[in-house]
């Protein structure tokens, strides 16, 4: 069997989709990029009513239907108001750890194009001793886009309801072995799904089933796209390609996170919402 290798085109595609702004509910640009890249490898492309894309490759038989799915939405924010001084208040889309937010550069996706801002809060010089001991919470933060009035911010195209995402360029580390960036959760998983599709097509590998490679939406706000894709595909087997927590960093007990970066894929054996099919798990192992 042919050996999989990532191509320069595929790596450039991964870079572009990870840098794109696409929090849950605002995935259209990312989905368009996936469609442009992967549709040529599919026999059919299906889009469900929630927006998820499914690329179909038919093999020797209609069934079993094998679904390989990753979600393309990312955690982000939503503009909730514009102050009279031109600052933007915001609410989270998906789960965030407040402690990582201050001084983060972000991109506000407006109707007139992207605007760069930075997350800020009350200066530490003006905090009381008690306030200095506490983590600044998200409700005390704002986004500064450089505007000095509400009117100026609106003139830039900013409106309540605009999506916001971190500004985090796709960057290869100094060692060349790792990559820094955003939205790896879980555009990497969706990338794996469509790369499996590409590999089967370009290597002319025969398979006795039908492959459904899915790029799903709105995972970060309740696994919504995964549910509707399951109904649309009516699959027999599903493989969810998701990210995991790397346990090889300081302060982590190996019992809490056994995965290690660069040591291969991991298999989830249990979580509070899913117990995997045991025969399938043993087959993969």
Kindly list the catalytic residues. 219
Coil/strand/helix, residue 271: strand
Edge-to-edge strands, sheet with 44-47: 44-47, 53-58, 210-216, 65-71, 237-240
Structure tokens at 56: 């179909």
Structure tokens at 120: 């800020």
Task: Evaluate whether 139 touches 122 at the Cβ level (below 8 Å).
Answer: no
E runs forming strands in the chain: 44-47, 53-58, 65-71, 76-82, 88-93, 105-110, 113-120, 142-144, 163-166, 171-172, 179-180, 210-216, 237-240
- Return the bridge partners of 78, or none: 91, 163
- Backbone φ, ψ for residue 231 (5° rounding): -70, -40
What is the C-alpha to C-alpha distance for residues 44 and 89, in angstroms, rounded to an integer? Answer: 42
């Amino acid at each position: 069997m042919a050996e999989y290798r990532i191509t320069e085109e595929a790596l450039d595609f991964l870079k572009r989709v990870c840098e794109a702004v696409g929090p849950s509910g605002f995935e259209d640009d990312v989905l368009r990029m996936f469609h442009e890249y992967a549709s040529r490898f599919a026999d059919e492309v299906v889009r469900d009513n929630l927006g998820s894309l499914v690329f179909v490759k038919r093999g020797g038989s209609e069934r079993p239907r094998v679904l390989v799915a990753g979600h393309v939405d990312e955690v982000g924010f939503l503009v909730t108001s514009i102050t009279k001084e031109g600052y933007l208040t915001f609410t989270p889309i998906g789960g965030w750890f407040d402690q990582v937010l201050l001084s983060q550069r972000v991109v506000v996706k407006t109707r007139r194009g992207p605007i760069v801002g930075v997350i800020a809060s009350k200066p530490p010089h003006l905090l009381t001793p008690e306030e200095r001991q506490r983590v600044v919470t998200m409700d005390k933060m704002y986004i500064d886009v450089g505007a000095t009035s509400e009117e100026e911010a609106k003139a830039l195209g900013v409106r309540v309801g605009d999506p916001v995402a971190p500004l985090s360029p796709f960057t290869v580390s100094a060692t060349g072995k790792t990559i820094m960036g955003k939205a790896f959760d879980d555009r990497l998983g969706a990338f794996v799904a469509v790369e499996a599709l590409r590999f089967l097509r370009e290597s002319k590998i025969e398979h006795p089933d039908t492959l459904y490679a899915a790029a799903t939406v709105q995972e970060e706000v309740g696994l919504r796209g995964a549910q509707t894709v399951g109904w649309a595909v009516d699959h027999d087997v599903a493989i969810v390609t998701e990210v995991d927590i790397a346990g090889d960093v300081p302060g982590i007990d190996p019992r809490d996170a056994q995965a290690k970066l660069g040591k291969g894929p991991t298999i989830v054996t249990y979580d509070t919402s899913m117990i995997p099919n045991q025969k399938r798990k043993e087959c993969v192992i």
